[in-house]
Chain A
Amino acid sequence: MLKIYTADLHIHSCLSPCGDLDMSPRKIVATAMARGLDIIAITDHNASENIVAAMKAAASTPVTVLPGMEVASAEEVHLLALFDGLEPMAQFQKIVYENLGSFGIDPRTSAEQVIVNENDEVEGFNERLLFGASSLSFEQLVAEVHRLNGLAIASHIDRESFSIIGQLGFIPDDVPLDALEISYHTSLEQARALYPDARRFPLIRNSDAHYPDEIGRQITRFVLGQPTLEEIKLALKHYQGRKILDVE
């Protein structure tokens, strides 16, 4: 049976160097639940170590957690990569780490990149500098995401920094993106007027939350059969009654 699901598919945990320390799996799930979100994705910068904890923290709640990552391409374009399960997520993580370079964090200057368990207990720290960019091009990253049956969504295309339009001027013709994300800075009407490219792709909105208060500040409502990535894929293509209902 088809049903409306409210989704926020771009949330940073305390693993991201810019993510607030309060962005622990339990806090994220509890806040998502309080704000009526049905589906969330944990999308840390170039990393994914807090996703299992978030999925476990959500296991006894109505919230579905999808594995994801906000990965930076060689051009310093941010791409939202979402996966159907932990196995493709792990494979993608391996590719990203192999191409991320080996800068370690400097504890004097770097923010902590905290790995936690489902009880919000600190398990360790990610010692790589997660702010870096991959040596893979944007097109190569999109191809890898699709090879692993994931969704490739260009992050916050309306932002000047780290967006495909900011870095590359426009969306290359031959990149098979699944959707574009419009940030809270810009209305959909403005986005369509400002970026002709935005008319070629489905548009979604997410919070890009780095602090608990920001979770759900922008959402996308989908009509789906189940809260799964496969159903979201159908919705982006408006197949079999699945669709984007609205973006808020």
Chain B
Amino acid sequence: MKLNHLIEKIPLKIQTPTVNFNVDVNGGYISDLLSDVMAHAKKGDIWITLQIHQNTVAVATLKELAGIIVIGGKQPAQETIKKAEEEGVPILTSDLTAFELICELCKLGISGSR
């Protein structure tokens, strides 16, 4: 499943317009503890989080994640978006809660078990 495809199916707002969204999503991971994401997320995961700090971009790059979805209507910090565009990390935002968004992702076949 491509990240592009998710954007067509679920109401998600693109925060990093210059970044390539034609990337594979292999699975998903949800956590607001960046140390936990560093320890447990897998390459190609779409990461769902409430955190908007610029460190999220470094973690996504390090773990080669497919992208970040910031939930709950939160707006990423400006430095975060700037860094994401520099690093080529796709960031999306959603007004959904984590639970609602994950239900939608599951319907599209995105799974947490890899």
Partner of A137, one of B38, B58, B77: B77
Does chain A have a CB within 8 A of B33? yes
How many inter-chain contacts with C-beta < 8 Å in the A-B complex?
Answer: 35
Q: Closest A-chain residue to B54, C-beta based?
A: A172
Asked if A138 CB lies within 8 Å of chain B CBs, one says yes
Q: How far is the CA of A75 from the CA of B37 in the complex (A)?
A: 15
A62-106 residues with Cβ-Cβ distance < 8 A to B are: 74-76
In the complex, A20→B55 CA distance in Å? 35
Instruction: Across the interface, name the chain A residue whose C-beta is closest to B62.
Output: A169
Q: A166 near B33 (CB under 8 angstroms)?
A: yes
> Are the C-beta atoms of B51 and A75 separated by less than 8 Å?
yes
Inter-subunit contact A165/B53 (CB<8 Å)? no
Do A165 and B51 touch (CB < 8 A)? no
Q: Tell me whether A189 is interfacial, beta carbon within 8 Å.
A: no
**B34 at the binding interface (Cβ < 8 Å):** yes
Is B38 in contact with A169, judged by CB distance below 8 angstroms?
yes
Report if A228 contacts B (CB, 8 A). no
Interface residues of A in 165-192 (CB under 8 A from B): 165-170, 172
Q: Are B37 and A169 in contact (CB under 8 A)?
A: yes
- The CA-CA distance from A175 to B33 in the complex, in Å, is 19
Q: Report yes or no: B77 in contact with A167, Cβ–Cβ below 8 A.
A: no
A168/B55 in contact, CB under 8 A: yes
Q: What chain A residues lie within 8 Å of B58 (beta carbons)?
A: 169-170
List the A residue with the shortest CB-CB distance to B37. Answer: A169
Distance from A106 Cβ to chain B, minimum over Cβ atoms (Å): 23
Q: Is A160 an interface residue (CB 8 A)?
A: yes
Chain B positions within 8 Å of A75 at CB level = 51, 53
For A, the interface residue count at a CB cutoff of 8 angstroms equals 13
What residue of chain B has the Cβ atom nearest to residue A138's Cβ? B53
Most buried by A among B32, B51, B53, B54: B53
Minimal beta-carbon separation of B38 from chain A (angstroms): 5
Q: B113 at interface (Cβ–Cβ under 8 A)?
A: no
Per-residue CB proximity of B1-39 to A under 8 Å, as 1/0?
Answer: 000000000000000000000000000000011110110
Residue of B nearest to A169 (CB): B34
Instruction: Among A137, A138, A167, A172, point to the contact of B35 (Cβ < 8 A).
Output: A167
In the assembled complex, B101 has its CB within 8 A of some CB on chain A? no
Contact A137 B53 (CB under 8 A): yes
The distance in angstroms between the C-alpha atoms of A168 and B37, with both chains bound, is 10
Q: Tell me the bound Cα distance from A172 to B54 in angstroms.
A: 8
- A residues less than 8 Å from B33 (CB atoms): 160, 166-167
Interface residues of A in 106-154 (CB under 8 A from B): 137-138
Q: Which residues of B contact A76 (CB under 8 A)?
A: 32
- B59 close to chain A: CB less than 8 A: yes
B77 cross-chain contacts in A, Cβ below 8 A: 137
CA distance A168 to B51 in the complex (A): 9
CA A76 – CA B49 in complex, angstroms? 13
Q: List 13 A-B contacts (CB under 8 A).
A: A74-B52, A75-B51, A137-B77, A166-B33, A166-B35, A167-B32, A167-B33, A167-B35, A168-B34, A169-B55, A170-B55, A172-B54, A172-B55
Chain A residues proximal to chain B, CB less than 8 Å? 74-76, 137-138, 160, 165-170, 172
Q: Please report B residues at the A interface, Cβ cutoff 8 Å.
A: 32-35, 37-38, 51-55, 58-59, 77
